[in-house]
Amino acid sequence: MESPTPRDLELARLTLAEDLGPDGDITSTSLGLGDRTCVGRILAKQNGVIAGLRMVHAVAAKADLRLALRSLVQDGDTVQPGTVIMEIEGPHRSLLIAERSALNFLQRLSGIASLTRKFVDAVSGTKARIYDTRKTTPTLRELEKQAVKAGGGCNHRFGLFDQILIKENHIEAFKKANGLTGSLPEIVGKTVAEAVRNRPSGIKLQVEVEDCQSAEHAARAGADLILLDNFSVPELREGVERVRAAAPNAPPGLEASGGITLATVGKVARTGVDRISVGALTHSAPSLDVSLLLNPIG
């Protein structure tokens, strides 16, 4: 397992500071709990996929360097109820201080990995790959995107800086700024062509479209990727055919998005799209249920 990064450690520090406040763990203090050594075991309480072990190490390092951790599974491993995920040994009070912050990271990130794995399994046998979005928890994007990868998914662009993605509001703003007239598909084509001319070297360009004609114009204008947003399954099939006919020599990648669920993702994948982006992976994943049990030593 990779060691915690400086950013991991800073997130852990902020999380512990939020929990401890100005007066620290007053429950442990009131009970006189101190440096007696304990062993804690983090257990899975339901089936799922693990992610976020690095953050457990980061929290432990910031809580007390005397805490010794041993991971019994790795990120990406599947677990069942009762699986021991990690053992932690160290001062009783320090374990109690680290407990909630460490479990919060582990539960949240494992929940994302677990939901991602369900989507990945649902498109097995097709060429489609499952992608995340930027609909992430502020300041936790890197961790949440790593959790998607642990679940077998792929990462979309990280932020506004590493890929051009022209959406409806960009198209409308470009239209008004340049006084463009004509049909929406024509305006989409002109918007893409302008971005193609001005994009930085090596940067992919994607455009979100809402109809097949706009997708054709985007393909002819040189888009690398086309996002077919809120298309029905029949519309997706038509869009795939028309885009590949519009740019037969260098067809752009095709991505489906918008309201896709576990019940529908298999049908979407079988339309022939290359990618399926699912915002729910990071904004709606239920946390995986895990717990920490302590046993005093001596």
Q: Which residues contact 128 (CB under 8 A, 6 or more apart)?
A: 256, 268, 269, 273, 274, 275, 276
Do 212 and 244 fall into the same domain? Answer: yes
Do 129 and 272 fall into the same domain? Answer: yes
* Spatial distance between the Cα atoms of 157 and 155, rounded to a whole number of angstroms: 6
Do 96 and 136 fall into the same domain? Answer: no
Tell me the CATH number at 90: 3.90.1170.20
pLDDT tens track of the chain, all 298 residues? Answer: 789 999 999 999 999 999 999 999 999 889 888 788 999 999 999 999 999 999 999 999 999 999 999 999 999 999 999 999 999 999 999 999 999 999 999 999 999 999 999 999 999 999 999 999 999 999 999 999 999 999 999 999 999 999 999 999 999 999 999 999 999 999 999 999 999 999 999 999 999 999 999 999 999 999 999 999 999 999 999 999 999 999 999 999 999 999 999 999 999 999 999 999 999 999 999 999 999 999 866 5
Helices (H), the chain: 6-20, 26-30, 53-63, 92-122, 141-150, 168-178, 184-198, 212-221, 233-246, 265-269, 280-283
Do 103 and 200 fall into the same domain? Answer: no
Contact 78, 116 (CB under 8 A): no
Do 126 and 264 fall into the same domain? Answer: yes
Residue type for 266, please? G
* Spatial distance between the Cα atoms of 288 and 106, rounded to a whole number of angstroms: 8
Do 269 and 132 fall into the same domain? Answer: yes
pLDDT attached to residue 60: 97
- The DSSP code sequence of 180-243 is --S-HHHHHHHHHHHHHHHPPTT--EEEEESSHHHHHHHHHHT-SEEEEET--HHHHHHHHHHH
Active site residues: 100, 135, 167, 208, 229
**In the chain, how many domains are there?**
2
Residue type for 173, please? A
Do 99 and 20 fall into the same domain? Answer: yes
Do 253 and 155 fall into the same domain? Answer: yes
Residue type for 136, please? T
Buried/exposed 48-81: b ≥16 CB within 10 Å, e otherwise: bbbbbbbbbbbbbbbbeeebebebebebebebee
Do 108 and 253 fall into the same domain? Answer: no
pLDDT attached to residue 33: 80
* Spatial distance between the Cα atoms of 267 and 100, rounded to a whole number of angstroms: 40
Is residue 1, in this structure, part of any structural domain at all?
Answer: no
Residue 85 parent element (H or E): strand 84-91
Q: Please provide the size of the chain in residues.
A: 298
Do 201 and 241 fall into the same domain? Answer: yes
* Spatial distance between the Cα atoms of 52 and 287, rounded to a whole number of angstroms: 12
> Containing domain of residue 266, as a range?
121-283
pLDDT attached to residue 295: 83
Q: Which residue has the tokens 């489609």?
A: 128
Do 290 and 264 fall into the same domain? Answer: no
199, with CB counted inside 10 A (0-12, 13-18, 19+), is middle
pLDDT attached to residue 297: 64
Q: Which residues contact 169 (CB under 8 A, 6 or more apart)?
A: none
CA distances from 224 to 28, 164, 214, 252 (A): 57, 10, 14, 5
* Spatial distance between the Cα atoms of 86 and 294, rounded to a whole number of angstroms: 12
Do 273 and 149 fall into the same domain? Answer: yes
Tokens of 65: 């360097």
* Spatial distance between the Cα atoms of 114 and 106, rounded to a whole number of angstroms: 12
* Residue 89 β-bridge partners: 39, 68
* Spatial distance between the Cα atoms of 294 and 269, rounded to a whole number of angstroms: 45
